[in-house]
Amino acid sequence: MKAYLVLDLSVNDFAGFKTYITEIPAFIARHSGRYIVRGVQPTTIEGDWTPERLVIIEFPEREKAEAFLSDPDIQELFKLRHATTTSRLLLADGCT
């Protein structure tokens, strides 16, 4: 079953964040992930959720997404994202 990482973020330091957006695609590909939505400003239809940028990454299975999140080689990039953005991240399983 496919799994999706959904990232809602506001960039606070774009100069610092550029390294993250340059390097992260290779790690996503390493774990068989692919962008479904990449850094777009979504339109809120209902409710008060107003993300500045939205990213959705699809993985062929939850285990691949979890391996991506726990990959030791990517942890410094995650720290960089945390330092340069305000973000929320969730993992959701797709439908069968």
Chain centroid to Cα 78, Å, comes to 10
Domain that holds residue 69: 3-93
| C-beta separation of 33 from 59 below 8 A | yes
State the CATH number of the domain containing residue 39.
3.30.70.100
Domain count, the chain: 1
Say how far apart CA 85 and CA 16 lie, in whole Å. Answer: 9
Q: Which two tokens stand for residue 70?
A: 């726990």
pLDDT digits (tens, 9 = 90+) for 31-74: 999 999 998 899 999 999 889 999 999 999 999 999 999 999 99
Give the DSSP letter of residue 48.
S
pLDDT digits (tens, 9 = 90+) for 22-42: 999 999 999 999 999 998 899
Helix (H) or strand (E) holding 69: helix 62-70
The model carries a pTM of: 0.93
**Which pLDDT score is estimated for 96?**
74
